[in-house]
Every structure is written in structure tokens, then in C-alpha cells.
Structure 1
Amino acid sequence: MKRSNLMIPLLLLALHGGAQTVKRISLPEALTMAATGNRQLQIQALEEVRQREVTKETRSRLLPNVAASGSYLRYFDRQVIFLPGSFAGTEKPVQDVAVGGKNAFNGYVSASQPLLNEGARRQTKTAVYDEKIQREKTADLRGNLGTQISIFYYDMLLMQSQIALHQQSLARNEKALKDTRSLFAQGRSLKQDTLRAFIAVENLRTAIAYLQNNLDVAGIQLKRLIGMDDAVTIGLSDTLVAELPAEGAYELESAIATAVQHRPDMAVQKLLTAKSGLELAVAKAERIPQINAVGQYQLQAQADNFRLGQYAWPPTSFVGLQVAVPIFNGNRIKTKVSQAEIRIKQETIGQEDLAQSVRSELASLLSQWKETNEQLRIQQRTVELAGISYTMMDDRYRNGLSTRLELTDAELALTQAKLNYLQAVYYHKVTQVRLRRAQGLLQLP
């Protein structure tokens, strides 16, 4: 008895835990989730942080450098210096003399401060440009993700709407199959009509299963992009509804001006062109002398014992300037300058090519945009006419003025018109997404 009382709550708990909760999300919610959950975006954000650290490292070449060092040496034989024999009290021209203690201690603190290092200063500016480039690359990635997520979302909306439409058509065709079988049993219909109705029903079931499988696959891809766990089942809260814009909503020159202002890839190309100019300046800066202020404080002692308290620690200190003037290094600087000049030409040509590519892309998308608007209006009218035709044919069939075959053909025409309309709405939405992306206006929140 006690065991049965325990099993009931466990069974209820298992049933409750096994039930999957569908998380319904809208397109803005999906974009917001991707802003924090997408792994590619997280990697790029870390790359931004890394580049900031690189800039700090480059800037450190202009800051003071302080170092401390110490050493202990044990000599088994005393150190030897060579002196003229007269200095050592011998008649030899050169006399070796053993000096110093067998224990040698040495410690010093040194400091240096660059006073003139034009190459390091210009490299710091180059690193700052690299930071800006990484920020623009992050913005470009956010735009690409926004485009991918939007298109996946509209793909799923299209398949979801197609499934609903096919299910409606399936219900009508199942009724038609039932009616055809009844008429065939009464001898008022041909076997061919029954077979045709059966094939139509099976084709619709196959189409629904195919669309459902594609919808599940698209859902997995969408969850990966927004950083959601695969175990979560998602649903879409938006609907595939067309929003026709006003005439002249997009003009080519206005779209190009917007793209120049907002597209991250164009900003990256401008930064690369400016950076190549700095790299040329860095190469030329190697011809400029480098000046450093230096200083050192040193303590040293030597003895044969370890009575450190009796050691003498004479200090040695100095300050001064170090000047390095490049004279000849095998034409390395000249070669680096030539490379930098070639890079400037490459980036300039790349900037011009990108501008032409953006112009062509926008012109093509604007043409597609106008075409999708026109197709949307045509398909809207076609659905209205197909609906009227189906209603008229249904009335005629109910009054015995038309055949089931004619009604089936009208139903098929209505279903196809609705499918074409859904496809037109989808292309309209996707073209709008790509047009906004091409102008640099599509970003994650």
C-alpha cells in the first residue's frame, strides 16, 4: 500500500518533467537573444579585448623601463687582470695579476626613458586603428547575424504557413475523397475520380511531412545562431504578413549615401587605407635616430669569506643619453617603404572596388524590391479572384450544376494562389532584410 502511494506522485512527476514546454519567440526577441548568446559574436568580442591589450603593449614602448638585477659568483681561482710588468714590479712586458675575492656579489637598478622613438609612436597610432577595425568587424558580424537570423525566421514562418495551408487543403480533399467514395458506391462516380482524390490526399500528407521536417531543421539552425539550448522547443509568435511600403520608399542615391555612412565593411576599408598610410610612416621612421635617457645605480663587493657585515659595498651610479643613428642595414628600410607604398595602392583600389560593388548590390536589390512589391500586389489580387472562383464553384456543386472534379480544380487553384502569395510575402520580407543589410541599417540590438 505504501509503495503504491509513493508510485503515484513519482509517476505524476515523471509525466510533468517529460512534457516539453514550447518557448515562443518573436523576431525582435530572437535578435536580442543572439546579441548575448551567439558564440561567434562572443569570440569577436574577445578579439576586441585582445586588440586593446595589443595597443597597450605597443604604447608601453614609450614608457619608462626600470629593471633590477643581482648576482653571486664563486671563483675557484681568483680573477686575473693583465698589467705592464713595471706596474706589477716585474721585468715582464705583461704580467698577470690575481685580484679580487673568491665570493663576488653584484646588484644594480637601471632605468631608461625613450626621448625620441618616432617608430614606436607611429606604431601606437597603427594599433589604435587596429582597435577601430575590430570594432567595425564586430558591427559587421552583428549585421550578418541579424540577416541570417531574420532569413531563418522568415523561412520558418513560410514553412509554418505552408503547413497550415496544406492542412486546410488536406481537410477539404479528405472530404472530397469521402464524397467521391460515396458517389462511387452509388454508381454515380468513376473509379478514376476516387483514385485521383486519394492521390491528392496522399500528396498533401507527403508535402506536410516534408515541410515539417524542414521546419524542425531550420529551428535547430535558428537555436544555434541565437545561442539557445537544443533541448528547448521553440515556436514563432510572429506571422508572415506583408507590409507594402509607400511608393518611392527607396532611391538609389539615397541608399548609397546611407550605406557609405553606416556599412561596417566600408568603414573597415577606409580604416585599412588610413592604416596603410601609417605603416608607410612607420617604415620611414626607422631612418630617424632614437634617443633614450638612461641611468643606473650599482652595488658590488668581493671577499674570500661570508662575513657580509664586514663587506665594503662601494656604489657606482650614472645618468646619460643613448643615441642610435641608423647608417646602413642592407636596404631593409628601403624595401619596407616600398612594401608599404604598394599596400597603400592595394587598399585604395580595394576601397574603390568596394564602393562599386556596393552600388551594384544596392541597384540589384532595389530592382528586386520593386519586383517583389509588384508581385505581392498581383498575388493579392490572384488570391481574391481564386477565392471568388472557389466560392462560385462550391455553390454550383451544391446545386448540382458542376462536378466534383471542377470543384477540386477550383480548390487546387485557390490553394496554389495562396501558396504563391505566401512565397511573394516571403521574398518581399527577405529582400527588405537584405536591402537594409546592404545599407548597414540591420544590426542586433
Structure 2
Amino acid sequence: MRMHAMALAVLLAGCAATVPPPPASSLRTPAAWRTAVEGQSSEPVAREWWQSFGDPALTALVAQALQNNGDLRVARARVAQYRALVGVAEAGQKANVIVDSAPTRTRQLAYNGVPYVTNVYQAEFQANYEVDVWGRLAALTDAAVATYQSEQANADAAALSIAATVASGYLNLRGLDAQLALTEATLKLREESRNLAQKQFEVGYSSRLEWLQAQAEYQTTAEQIPQLKRAIFEQENALSILSGGNPGPVARGVELEALQPPAVPAGLPSELLRRRPDIARAEYNLVAINANLRATRDQMLPSFKLTAVGGVQNLKWHDFVNAPTALWRLTGAVAAPVFEGDRIQHQTDAAAAQRDQAIYAYENAVRTAFSETDNSLGAIVRLKEQAVQNDARRATAAETLRIAHNRYRNGYASYLEELDAQRTLFAADVNRLQLRTRILTASVDLYRAMGGGWTGR
């Protein structure tokens, strides 16, 4: 008998659909990053890494965004939805009990035409339970759990993206503030130059052309101020919306010059596989699809169900409660598809193709993480090198302006030389502020690329 049972199990297992093998992995993890950065921190990436900039206003803005951002609240609601669906899947592995109570009161006519009233008290319960012999129900539960974990990782990825976007937006706002202050200060200098050129023209010391050139330069600088104010206005509104509020002003903290980029965190490429929530999401999606594939494959296998039905019925309430008529039935059912025109095999092939897509998506997510991190490291190094050259350029431009100004005041050169030197120095100053802002935002990009301290696994 035991041999017959084993033979039957092997025969039934052979009824499962055939699963194509997964594709071979083409992913190769590099041993190190292409760009080496000096002064890397040995500390792990802080979870609330934006606090490393030392700006309380930035910290408060990110905290507000993580609490109130609309997209993030939607992602968290999806997590709650899929958490509940795990419970639905787990309930499929438990018994299902239904109770049906139907007391009935009927007025009818007897054979002699006299009406009479009949009371019928009836209650029935039914219990169903499917024996998960092949693990199909367990596979569906595993798929639900992995999908829930994927949604949780997706919410973490959204939180990391929101924090990085808010931090970059705030740093860009401080850069615009610094450019506005620089332009307003430059406008005062242009006004002094214009007044000087006007006086020299009025006394006949210089030509009207030089005075008009000074006037034009003043107007050019003045034109940039409303442009910068508009950019600041729009940036404030964008940050307000990101933080879950209405369009409005944004509180400022530390000045751009005082903001220092945090130390570059150390880490190997292999560590990204555990730190990036988007990689975790792709991995959980693959787990869920593999579990669904197992469940789809086993649809051809027979299912074993136990059904128990019982009930009580009587015409009188007293007898119904105390001495009811008891009825019951116990059924064991085995059901299996015999012929479905290869439908289940085609469904299995489709699920296997989804598995292959998930494998490719996982590999793409890992490669993207490698690229983003390497690009961020390279950006920090190159921007710092550019800042060194910009400092030298600015020093040269400042000295050129000093000499040109003295030559002009003493009558040895035309105003055009001083005007050209002013433009060069102003361009160097603007570029210096933009470089400082880009170095700060590059640090944000690096922390985003390295997982931002996420420790979900």
C-alpha cells in the first residue's frame, strides 16, 4: 500500500506544468569605484544624513516633507493595503466557517380553507478547509508577503527621494539667495561707476560714449535682480509643495558660505545591494513572481478539500433550543483539471516570462546604482578641482579690476578696460557661488545614490 501511495504521489506531481529555466545572470559587481575620494569618512551612512549640513532650517524642512508629502502618504497607504492583503492570503490556508440562521413564519391555508400559521426555526453551519498538499496556498502567501515587502521598500525609496529632493531644492534656494545678494551689491558698485562716468562727462574729462557704457552696464545688472527674485519665488513654492503645504515662503537658516558638505561616506559597490531600497524592491518583486510561478505551475495538481455541514431545525422555539433535530454531513472532495487545452502551461510560461523580466529589472537597478554612485563621486572630485581653478581665476580678475580702475581714474585708460574687468570679476563671483551650490547638491546626490542610510534589510 505504501508503494502504491508513493507511486501515486509521483504520478500526481508529474501533472504540474513545466517551468522554463531562468536566464543566466550577466551581472558583475566591480571591486571598487572608479573615482577615489580623499578624506572619506569611516562612519556608516547616517540615516538622517541631511543633518550633517548643520542647518536647522534644512532639517526642519526635510522632516516636514517626510511627514506631509502627498506622494509619500500615497506610498504609505499602499503599504497598508498590501499588509492587509497578506492577511487575506494567510486566511486562504485556514478553515472557512459559515453560519446561516433562517427563522421563518408562514401563513397558509389548510385543506378546508382555514388559514394557519407555521413557525420554522432553522440554523446551519458549514466549514470548508483545503489541505495544502502541494504548497500552492503557501506559495500564494509567500507572494503576498514579498509584494508587501516590495511596497515597503518602494515607500522607503520614495522617502529617500523626497528627502534628497528637498535638500537639493533648499541648497539651490540658498545659492539663489547668495546670487541675489551678490547682484544687489554689484548693482551699487555699477551705480557708483555710472555716477563717476557721468561727472567726468559733464566736466569734459571723458566722452558721452563712456557714460552710456556705464549706464548700460548698470541697467544690465539691474535686469538680473527681478530674474533672480522670480527664481527664488518659484523655488520657495516648489519646496512648500514638496513639504506638503501651500505655496509660500520658506524659512532660511545657515548662509551658503557657511554651509559645509558632509564627509564622503566610504563603501564598496557590493554594499549597495543591501543599502538601496530600490534594489530591495526589485529583489522582493522577483521573490513574489517566483512564488506566483510556483502557484501557477501547481494548478494542474489535484486539490483536497474537506467540507463539514451541520444544522438544527424544529417547529417550536423551545424544542429548537432544548431538543432540536440535529443534521450533519461530512464530505471530502478531490478535484483536478483533466483537460484545459494547455491553458495552465501557457499561464506558467507567461509567469516565467514575468520572472525573467524581474531578473532583468533587478540587474538594471543594480547597474544604475553603481553608475549613480560612481558619477556622484566623480562629480564631487571634479567640482572641487574646478573650484580651485575658479578661486585662482577670481583672484586674477580682482587684481585686474584694481589696476584697470586706477588706470581709468588717473586717465591712463578708457572706461572700457574697467568695464571689461568688472564683467570678468562678476562672472567669476557668480560661477563661484554656483560651484559651491553644485558641490553641496553633489553631496546630496551621493547620499541618495548610496542609499541614504536606509537599513530596511
Distance 2:405 2:454 in 1: 49
Kept after mapping to 1: 8 A contact 2:261/2:443? no
Spell out, residue by residue over 1:368-408, the C-alpha distance to the aligned partner (whole angstroms, 9 max, x if none).
33321211111122222222333344445555555544333
Distance 2:445 2:227 in 1: 27
Cα shift at 1:245:
8.5
What is the TM-score with the length of structure 1 in the denominator? 0.78
Residue 334 of structure 2 is aligned to residue 324 of structure 1: yes
The corresponding residue for 1:432 is 443
Distance 1:272 1:41 in 2: 20
Distance 2:399 2:375 in 1: 36
The corresponding residue for 1:111 is 127
Cα shift at 1:174:
0.3
Cα shift at 1:255:
5.1
Residue 141 of structure 2 is aligned to residue 124 of structure 1: yes
Residue 182 of structure 2 is aligned to residue 169 of structure 1: no
Distance 2:265 2:412 in 1: 51
Residue pairs, 1:199-278, within 5 angstroms:
199-231=216-248, 233-241=249-257, 243=260, 254=267, 256-278=269-291
> Alpha carbons of 1:164 and 1:255: their partners in 2 closer, same or farther (altered >3 Å)?
farther
> Gaps spanning 5+ residues in structure 2: where?
1-54, 111-116
Spell out, residue by residue over 1:181-234, the C-alpha distance to the aligned partner (whole angstroms, 9 max, x if none).
111110111111111111111111110111101110110000110123435x32
Aligned AA (1:109) = F
RMSD: 3.0
Residue 356 of structure 2 is aligned to residue 339 of structure 1: no
Cα shift at 1:76:
5.7
Aligned AA (1:334) = Q
> Alpha carbons of 1:347 and 1:310: their partners in 2 closer, same or farther (altered >3 Å)?
closer
- The alignment of Structure 1 onto Structure 2 pairs a total of residues equal to 390
Distance 1:374 1:110 in 2: 77
The corresponding residue for 2:68 is 37
Aligned AA (1:160) = D
The corresponding residue for 1:411 is 422
> Alpha carbons of 1:314 and 1:261: their partners in 2 closer, same or farther (altered >3 Å)?
closer
Spell out, residue by residue over 1:29-83, the C-alpha distance to the aligned partner (whole angstroms, 9 max, x if none).
21111111211111111111111111111111122322211333748689xxxxx
The corresponding residue for 1:146 is 163
Kept after mapping to 2: 8 A contact 1:293/1:319? no
Residue 200 of structure 2 is aligned to residue 183 of structure 1: yes
Deviation larger for 360-369 or 348-357: 360-369
Cα shift at 1:128:
0.6
Distance 2:410 2:162 in 1: 56
Kept after mapping to 1: 8 A contact 2:142/2:291? yes
Aligned AA (1:267) = A
Q: Identify which of 343, 352, 357 aligns with 2:363.
A: 352
Describe the SS at the equivalent of 1:218.
Answer: helix
Kept after mapping to 2: 8 A contact 1:393/1:407? yes
Distance 1:301 1:235 in 2: 77
Describe the SS at the equivalent of 2:251.
Answer: strand
Distance 1:230 1:363 in 2: 36
Kept after mapping to 2: 8 A contact 1:116/1:289? no
Q: Identify which of 315, 340, 344 aligns with 2:325.
A: 315
Higher Cα Rg, which structure: 1
Residue 309 of structure 2 is aligned to residue 296 of structure 1: yes
Residue 99 of structure 2 is aligned to residue 68 of structure 1: yes
> Alpha carbons of 1:235 and 1:381: their partners in 2 closer, same or farther (altered >3 Å)?
farther
Q: Identify which of 259, 263, 281 aligns with 2:294.
A: 281
> Alpha carbons of 1:201 and 1:193: their partners in 2 closer, same or farther (altered >3 Å)?
same
Kept after mapping to 2: 8 A contact 1:289/1:323? no
Cα shift at 1:250:
7.8
Kept after mapping to 2: 8 A contact 1:137/1:264? yes
Kept after mapping to 2: 8 A contact 1:293/1:321? yes
Describe the SS at the equivalent of 2:98.
Answer: strand
Spell out, residue by residue over 1:229-265, the C-alpha distance to the aligned partner (whole angstroms, 9 max, x if none).
435x32321332475888xx688xx452342221111
Residue 431 of structure 2 is aligned to residue 420 of structure 1: yes
Spell out, residue by residue over 1:339-387, the C-alpha distance to the aligned partner (whole angstroms, 9 max, x if none).
2222222212222233333333344444333321211111122222222
Cα shift at 1:27:
2.0
The corresponding residue for 2:46 is none
Kept after mapping to 2: 8 A contact 1:256/1:439? no
Residue 57 of structure 2 is aligned to residue 47 of structure 1: no
Distance 2:157 2:301 in 1: 38
Cα shift at 1:309:
5.4
What is the TM-score with the length of structure 2 in the denominator? 0.77
Describe the SS at the equivalent of 2:125.
Answer: strand
> Alpha carbons of 1:436 and 1:125: their partners in 2 closer, same or farther (altered >3 Å)?
same
Cα shift at 1:314:
4.4
Aligned AA (1:107) = A
Q: Identify which of 362, 367, 377 aligns with 2:378.
A: 367
Deviation larger for 286-295 or 405-414: 286-295
Distance 1:77 1:124 in 2: 56
